[in-house]
Structures are given as C-alpha cells and as structure tokens.
C-alpha cells in the first residue's frame, strides 16, 4: 500500500513538472509571438513611411539636370561653329580614350600633338565668364541631388530589411535599387564634369554641395524660428491692443456713468 502511494505521488509530481514545463513553454511562445508581432507592426509602419517618403525623395532633379546640359550643349556648339573643337570632343572621357588608342599607333610627334587636343574643352577654351556660368549650373545640380542622396543612403539598410522580411514587394525594391544605381551614376557624372571644368574640383564638389545644403537647412530653420517669433510678437501686440481698447472702453463707460450721476444730483 505504501509503495502504491509512493508510486502515485511520484506520478503526480512528474505530471506537475510536465504541466509546469508546458505552461512555461506556452508562455515563452506567447512572448515570442508578441515580440514578433510588435516587430512586424514596426516593420509595417516602416514600410508605410518608406512608401510615402519615396514619392518625393528619390526623383532626380530634372530641372537642374536639363539646365546644366542645355548650357553645356550651347557652349560646345558655339565652339564647334568657331571650329575650335571637333564633334568627337564633346565628351572628354571618350575623346581621351580615342586619343590613347590613336597614339599607340602614331609617331611620338603626332602623339604629343594629339594629346594636347584632348585636354577638356571646358578648361581649354571657355572664357572665365562662361566657365563660371557652367560651374554655377553644375553646383546647383549637385546641390539638388543632396537631399535624395541623404535619404537613399539612410534608407538603404531599412529597405533591404523590409524586402528580406517580405514586407516590401519585389517591384518596390527593384524601383529603389534602380534609383540608387541612377543616383550613383549621377554623382559620378557630376564629379567627372567638375574635373573637366576645373582640375581636381571633382574631389570636393560633393563635399561643397553637402556643406551648402546644411547651410541652407540651417537658414531655413532660422527663418522658421524668426517667423514663429514674429507671429508670437504680433499675437502679443494684438492681445495688448485689445486689452488697452477694453480698458479704454471701461474708462469711457465709467466717465459717462459718473457724469450722468452728477447731472441727477
């Protein structure tokens, strides 16, 4: 009988241990599911925010791109009309490659004469005023690319995370990746053009553009703060004027009342 009771006690003890383990496992799974649910909710919020931000942050600055290319084309066509350049010199990188190919099969004299031909026409033939105009257009183009450069650089890792978790569609990820590739080409082109206009300018043009962008954002914040302060001052002045008008009206009313009372006396 004692052995039976001992056996039953051990059985119940094992049952309770297994039951407690099952409860703990269930609680752990619930906590895990809760954490995954929160993480998924956070990812969904990130996906929604990313989709909204993409609409205005990854588009190239068409206006500034077209303005630079138009001025560049006009300057080159003017030199072409003056017979100072050849048609194949418009893009110095291609011209330099052609010159290198030709020089390998030419004499040393012709090689030295042809090599000078492929100094970028922007450096060789533009007047200081024309060069200044072209530089201004290029720095504006670079400056307008900075906001999307900042956004794409910051969003790249989170976009990939959303895509990997299945919360970003293939089409959306492909669109973002294409925008990233297009931006890289655009920034490379800007640095290349900067070197054509002025030696070694390509090394610093993007840094200069970032600095100008930060200065512009700082100025915007200052202007916004000044506007808020002006609005507060105007509101305070209006409140003061209203209080003064109300006090004046009270004094006028009190004076009328006193005069009326004196007449009765």
Most confident of 20-29, 32-41, 114-123, 210-219: 210-219
Domain contains 13: no
Average pLDDT of the residues of the chain: 81
Lookup result for tokens 């990188």: 93
Written in H, E and C, the secondary structure of 15-80 is: HHHHHHHHHHHHHHHHHHHHHHHHHHHHHHHHHHHHHHHHHHHCCCCHHHHHHHHHHHHHHHHHHH
Q: Diameter of the chain by CA atoms?
A: 125
Q: What is the pLDDT of residues 65-122, one digit of tens each?
A: 999 999 999 999 999 999 999 999 999 887 777 766 766 655 544 444 444 456 899 9
pLDDT of residue 167: 87
Distance CA 241, CA 11 (A): 88
Domain contains 90: yes
pLDDT of residue 208: 96
Position with higher pLDDT, 199 vs 252: 199
Q: How many domains does the chain have?
A: 1
Distance CA 211, CA 220 (A): 14
Distance CA 93, CA 97 (A): 6
Lookup result for tokens 């039951």: 19
pLDDT of residue 73: 98
Instruction: Kindly indicate the confidence band of residue 241, based on its pLDDT and cuts at 50, 70 and 90.
Output: confident
Distance CA 172, CA 183 (A): 16
Compute the average pLDDT of residues 8-19: 62
Q: What is the pLDDT of residues 128-160, one digit of tens each?
A: 999 999 999 999 999 999 999 999 999 999 999
pLDDT of residue 2: 47
Q: pTM above the 0.75 mark?
A: no
pLDDT of residue 41: 57
Please, what sign has the CA dihedral across residues 176, 178, 182, 187?
A: positive
Distance CA 46, CA 40 (A): 10
Q: Which residues contact 67 (CB under 8 A, 6 or more apart)?
A: 137, 140, 141
Nearest to 216 by CA among 142, 131, 156, 132: 142
Domain contains 57: yes
Domain contains 103: yes
Distance CA 15, CA 53 (A): 56
Domain contains 16: no
Domain boundaries, position 68? 45-264
Domain contains 156: yes
pLDDT of residue 251: 83
Domain contains 32: no
Most confident of 162-166, 167-171, 180-184: 180-184
Domain contains 151: yes
């Amino acid at each position: 009988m004692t052995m039976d009771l001992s056996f039953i006690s051990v059985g119940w003890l094992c049952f309770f241990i297994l039951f407690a383990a099952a409860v703990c496992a269930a609680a752990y799974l619930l906590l895990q599911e809760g954490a995954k649910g929160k993480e998924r909710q956070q990812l969904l919020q990130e996906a929604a925010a990313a989709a909204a931000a993409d609409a205005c942050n990854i588009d190239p600055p068409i206006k500034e791109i077209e303005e630079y290319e138009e001025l560049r084309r006009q300057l080159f066509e003017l030199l072409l009309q003056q017979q100072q350049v050849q048609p194949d010199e418009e893009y110095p990188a291609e011209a330099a490659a052609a010159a290198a190919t030709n020089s390998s099969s030419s004499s040393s004299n012709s090689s030295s004469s042809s090599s000078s031909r492929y100094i970028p026409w922007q450096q060789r033939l533009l007047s200081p005023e024309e060069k200044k105009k072209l530089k201004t257009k290029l720095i504006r183009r670079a400056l307008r690319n900075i906001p999307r450069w900042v956004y794409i650089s910051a969003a790249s890792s989170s976009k990939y995370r959303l895509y990997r978790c299945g919360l970003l569609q293939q089409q959306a990820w492909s669109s973002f990746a294409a925008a990233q590739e297009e931006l890289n080409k655009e920034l490379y082109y800007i640095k290349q053009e900067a070197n054509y206009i002025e030696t070694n300018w390509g090394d610093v043009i993007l840094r200069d553009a970032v600095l100008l962008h930060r200065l512009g954002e700082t100025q915007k914040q200052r202007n916004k703060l000044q506007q808020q302060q002006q609005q507060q001052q105007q509101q305070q002045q209006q409140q003061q004027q209203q209080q003064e008008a109300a006090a004046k009206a009270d004094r006028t009313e009190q004076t009328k009342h006193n005069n009326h009372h004196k007449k009765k006396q």
